[in-house]
Every structure is written in structure tokens, then in C-alpha cells.
Chain A
Amino acid sequence: MKLVIAYINPYKLDEVRDALKEAGVSGLTAANVEGFGRQAGHVETYRGSEYEVDMVPKVRIEVLTDDTLLPIIISTIERTARTGAIGDGKIAVLPVEDVIRIRTGERGREAV
């Protein structure tokens, strides 16, 4: 089992989610986050005072999956989140020791 964590542009969330659903993903979690990478920040001006803001808003999505679906999930996120410009984000894949569905107590692949 794997945990896929992807950092994507916020405006890509709907597209990525719809494509993952279509690919057979049964659930995901998303959160608004801020971070910095190669993408430059921007300057915000409040009452004439300029602030260099290097933290850029992103969405982090997390998908728990069994190993069979993993390649499809990665290619789906890559395909839908890519614009070709700096700031498209990253995908990380982590090994998962166990998964437990809280309601039923199912464990492992059953719980994914």
C-alpha cells in the first residue's frame, strides 16, 4: 500500500479529483497549504506598504491506494495537473504499513 501526496495548483483540484475518480480512486483528502519552491512569490501592497510574499498557495492532496492502482494515479495526476509552467507542483509516494477503516475495523487492502 502507498500514500500518494501531491502538491498542485489550487485551480487544478477539480480537474485532478474528477480524473482520479474516473480512474477508480475511491477517496482522497485535500487541504489548502502554502509553500515555496522554484516558483517566485509576489508583492502585496497594503496602504502603500509593499510586502514580498514568497509563500505561494497550493493544494495538497493525499490518496491512499493499493499498489496496483498506483501507476494510474501517478500518471493521472501528472497529466491533469501539468501546465508546463513553473509551479505545477510535485508528487511524493510513501510506503504505508497499515490502514484501518475506523467504522468496521477492516485492515490493510480491505480498508483502502
Chain B
Amino acid sequence: MNSGDTAWMLMSSALVLFMTPGLAFFYGGMVRAKNTLGMLMKNYVAMGLVTVTWIVVGYTLAFGTDLGGGMLGGLDYLGLKGVAIDIAKGEQAGAIHGATVPDAVIMVFQMMFAIITPALISGAIAERMKFSAWAVFIAIWSIVVYAPVAHWVWSAHGFIFEHIKAVDFAGGTVVHINAGAAALAAVLIIGPRLGFRQSPIRPHSLPLTLLGAGMLWFGWFGFNGGSSFGANALAVNAFIVTQIAAGVAGTAWLLMEQFQHGKPTTLGFASGAVAGLVAITPAAGFVGYLAAVAIGVAAGVVCYLALQIKFALNFDDALDVVAVHLVGGILGSLLTGVFSESRINPSVLDGLFFGGGSTQLIRQTIAVVVAFGFSFIISFVLLKLVDAVIGLRITEAEERRGLDISLHEEQSYALTE
């Protein structure tokens, strides 16, 4: 056990956890005042439910001994059996993950990813989904969708990692495409909010949204920097390209707004920065600084243009999870195959831009298609089941009254005191 690496990984785990409250406020500011607590709650509850599903069965399905074909982990670590630190010895060998930190540290680091991924979906179904249906959905989703995809991509014998040989440094497929595809399935099933495209549905507090975006940006240094599994040169690279892509993408988004509407907006900067963070996520351990600039520009421009998808196809992806996370995740995963450099990380081929041909790009494309297809189909079926048993949607009267009162009997902004 390396104490420096362990310190960084514990810190990174805390940073990644901090992103879920960040996401809650990023989303919470974008909904109407009457739905603020309902929005925050759908994110915060993931910190409760997925902690439980992860320790009981999620971790072992993702990182247990492969059952065959790289499809799913076995139940050897059910209930975290065998993952505990041996206090008497003062350390635990990294037998499962082969890292320089105890396996338990990687287990808890990965737990934070399992928590934020279903939380990302909540932006799509904002302002109209039942709390009970949401809780059941994300608990099951974290087991039947998240854990398998994490196994394919991040387990040593996962088929995307071992056979397709696609790379995903910190979660372009596992986190962003996965959540984005589920978000798309969710909006198709749950339908638009009352008044969608008829009356203005404006963000109630952009300061909250900017605060949340700042928390996300801060936490992302653990998300990407920690995915090196140590305090090493790769962590430094991931840390720096994360900053570059976020800053560039936020700026690129502002320029798009300036050209198209004549006014740069705070929501635009926050959205662009998050799009940049999403896009650099799969690439952070494989690309250099200038590639991060290119990825940032691409994220700012492409995700901005992708906002129009929901109007073209007429679905109410309330807070643009598809445009930012699905499109941003696909973009980043593919651009990893364009800008990857073996001099930065020997575990990857040189990308298209660095003379490695299209091999890595083709591998990345397969991973994108597989992750999208699997998540979309299973999420669709799961949501249909939850809809049949519990019902996904609150009543029209509840929706008009707002989630805060209807679902939680609380208020965000009381008139007095």
C-alpha cells in the first residue's frame, strides 16, 4: 500500500461524492421555484440508495470475478465480503484491482461514480416524476444497468476493455452515455411537462445553478484525476486537461450564444463548462493539452447545437441531459480515438490524429454503440415496468402545485421568516 496514492484516492472519492450535491444545485436552480426541493431530493437520495445497492451487490457485479465472456462479475464480493481492510496487518493488498491502494479504497471511489450516474438522469424527468418511482428506478438501474456496463469497461476481464479494447478513462461510456441513453428513454416514456413549448418554463435561480456548476467542476478533478488510481503523472495529466477542456468549452459556448443571440449568458457558461468536463472525461488519461483545447471547443459547439434535438424530435428533456451528457459523452469517447497518444498512456494506441490510423477510433465507436444500445433498451424496459407497477408520473394537480408541496410537504421559499 502506497500512502500517497491512498491519500489522493480517498480525497478523490470525497471530491466525486461532492459532485452529486453539485449536480443537485446545478439542476435545482434550473427548475421553477415550486419544484426546487423535488429536484434536489432526486439527486440527494441517490447518495442513500446507491450506497446500499453498491455495497450489497453493485460492486461485486461490476468488479467480482468474471462469470464468463466479460459480461458480468460474480458474487464473490457480495456484501463486500473479502473487501474489508485487515486492520491487524495495517493494510490490504490490492488483490482485486492490482493497484497500489487497498481494494476498499477503489470500491468506495467507484461507489461515488455509481451514485452520480443515475442522479444525472434526474434532469431529464425534472418537474413531473413521482419520488417513489424514481427511488425504485435508480436502485434497480444501479444494479442492472450501471454495474454491468462498469464491468464491461473497467473490470480487467470486461469484454469492452479486454476484447474490444476501447478505452474510457473516467466514464464517457459508463457514466455519461449510460445516463444520457437512460434519460432519453425516460423522457420518451414519461412525456412532456404541462405547458412544454406553450408557456415559458424558466430557471428560478441561476445563482444556484452556477454554484452547482462550480461544485461539479471542483469535484471533477477527483473524478478524472482519481481515475489514475494514484498520485502519479497520469493524475497530473488528467487534472490539467480537465481544467483546459472545461474552460475552453465554457468560453466556446459563450461565443456561440454571442453569435446567435447577441448576449452571452451565465447559464450558457455553466452549461458549456459541464459539457467540456463531460467530453474530456473518457479522454483525460490519454490525451495531451492541445487535444484538450480541441475537445473543449468541440464540446462547447456541438453540445450547444445539440440543444435543438429536443425541439426537432419534440421530446421534453427538461434540463438537456441528452444534449450535454449523451452527446458530450459520445463526442468525448470518439475524440479519444482521434487524439489519444501512447506516449501519454502506453495502454492506448495512437489515435487518428497522431498517426495511429482509425483502429482506436473504431474501437471507441463500438463501445459507444454498445453502451448506448444496452442502456437505452434496458432502461426503457425497466421504466415501463416501474410505470406499470407504481406509475412514473405525478397527477396533473400535483404537477401544477409543484413537487415541493405535492411530494415532500416542504417549501423551498416560504414567504415569511
Contacts and interface: CB of A to CB of B under 8 A. Distances in A.
A46 interface: yes
Interface stretch (B16-24, B170-178, B210-218, B258-266): B258-266
Nearest to B271: A47
Contacts of A50: 261
B200 A45 contact: no
Contact of A48 (B200, B202, B203, B307): B307
Interface string B182-218: 0000000000000000001011000000000000000
A11 interface: no
A48, A49, A50, A53 interface centre (most CB from chain B within 10 Å): A48
A47 B267 contact: yes
A10 B415 CA distance: 21
Interface string A28-50: 00000000000000001111111
B268 A47 contact: yes
B304 interface: yes
Contacts of A51: 200, 202
Nearest 7 pairs of A and B residues by beta carbon: A51-B200, A48-B307, A45-B261, A47-B307, A46-B267, A46-B203, A47-B320
Interface of B: 200, 202-203, 257, 260-261, 263, 265, 267-268, 271, 304, 307-308, 311, 320
Given A45-B263, A47-B320, A49-B311, 13 more contacts: A44-B202, A45-B257, A45-B261, A46-B202, A46-B203, A46-B267, A47-B267, A47-B307, A48-B257, A48-B304, A49-B307, A50-B261, A52-B200
13 contacts: A45-B257, A46-B203, A46-B267, A47-B267, A47-B268, A47-B271, A48-B260, A48-B307, A49-B307, A49-B311, A51-B200, A52-B200, A53-B200
B4 to A, nearest CB: 42
B253 to A, nearest CB: 9
A51 B261 CA distance: 12
Nearest to A45: B261
Interface in A28-81: 44-53
B163 to A, nearest CB: 39
Nearest to B256: A48
Contacts of B311: 49
A48 B308 contact: yes
Contacts of A48: 257, 260-261, 304, 307-308
Contacts of B261: 45, 48, 50
Contacts of B257: 45, 48
Nearest to B203: A46
B112 to A, nearest CB: 27
Contacts of B267: 46-47
Contacts of A45: 257, 261, 263, 265
Nearest to B197: A49
Contacts of B304: 48
Nearest to A48: B307
Nearest to A43: B261
B135 to A, nearest CB: 28
Interface in A2-43: none
Contacts of A46: 202-203, 265, 267
Contacts of B268: 47
Contacts of B200: 51-53
A48 B258 CA distance: 11
B260 to A, nearest CB: 7
Contacts of B308: 48
A52 B202 CA distance: 11
Contacts of B320: 47
A47 B274 CA distance: 13
B295 to A, nearest CB: 21
B193 to A, nearest CB: 13
A50 B307 CA distance: 13
A56 to B, nearest CB: 15
A45 B206 CA distance: 13
A76 to B, nearest CB: 31
A52 B268 CA distance: 18
A53 B304 CA distance: 23
A53 B265 CA distance: 16
Contacts of B265: 45-46
Nearest to B206: A46
A44 B201 CA distance: 11
Contacts of B203: 46
A44 B200 CA distance: 10
Contacts of B260: 48
A4 B311 CA distance: 48
